[in-house]
Amino acid sequence: MRWRGIILLIGVSLAVILLAVFLAFHRQESYRCTTCNSWRHVSEWRVGLLDGSSLPLWPAHQTEDRSAILKDFFASDHRHEWVHSSGHSVGLQGEMWSDGEGANVFCKWYARDPSFRAFVRRKIAARELSRETVLRIVALPENADRDERADPATEKSAELGDRLVAEWQGKE
């Protein structure tokens, strides 16, 4: 009887370990602030189904990338408005991607190129561009569709953002 109990315990333990190994996966989710273009990344290990219910194995790890737009145009007490941008889960069950809202071209150039940031700041200093206009351009989604651009103010901001990038690229 004692051996049966030990064998049962070993069998159940192996089954739990195998299930944990095959059902464990890593999830990475990214979120973008729609007002300042900062990014928040959440990374965690979970156990369960990739496309179904799952439980965290331990607390999620979060990091935040403060954008140049945040540093240049917002006060230190800025409250972010996060929207889902992308997600990726991977484990022995396979992979799963999810897409959300990304940054528009103006934001991407502002984030990665100091000369574009200087170009925009010169336009603001010369009063050819206002801080409010820049923030309206930043708030535009990555690919504004016809419905979103139907609003005249949105269309004007989108066109201005495209024109500013084109003008800057022509000066380099």
The mean per-residue pLDDT over the stretch 22-43 comes to 89
95 and 125: one domain? no
pTM (2 decimals)? 0.74
Domain boundary among 51, 78, 99: 99
Query: Would you give the distance in Å from CA 49 to the centre of its chain?
Result: 23
14 and 73: one domain? yes
49 and 88: one domain? yes
Domain boundary among 71, 99, 127: 99
Determine the structural domain holding residue 52 and report its residue range. 2-99
The model's pLDDT over 51-101, given as tens digits with 9 standing for 90+, comes to 778 888 889 999 999 999 999 999 889 999 998 888 888 776 777 777 777
Domain boundary among 77, 99, 121: 99
Is residue 90 a contact partner of residue 98, using CB atoms and an 8 Å limit? Answer: no
Q: In this predicted structure, what is the pLDDT of residue 1?
A: 60
Separation of first and last alpha carbons in the chain: 83
113 and 53: one domain? no
